[in-house]
Amino acid sequence: MYACVCHAVTDDDVRDHVAAGACSAKEVRTACGMRPGCGSCVNRIRDLIEQHFAADERGEALTTAAA
């Protein structure tokens, strides 16, 4: 699924950058090389970040489809 249609950034792309250390939507957008667009992706990116840290707190690892 696409987290950002404007820049063709997938959920897996976001998860990979969060796993590599990005902790905010701004850090993910920077890591993905995203420039300002419509902004509709920000909430989706934040949700994916929250899912990552919630799973981390439970001791789970979120995996990407490619893994």
Q: What is the CATH number of the domain that holds 40?
A: 1.10.10.1100
Residue 47 lies in a domain: yes
Our count of domains for the chain comes to 1
Domain that holds residue 40: 2-57
Residue 25 lies in a domain: yes
pTM of the shown model: 0.81
Does the pLDDT value for residue 67 go beyond 80? no
Residue 63 lies in a domain: no
Distance between CA 59 and CA 67 in Å, rounded? 18
pLDDT averaged over the chain? 89
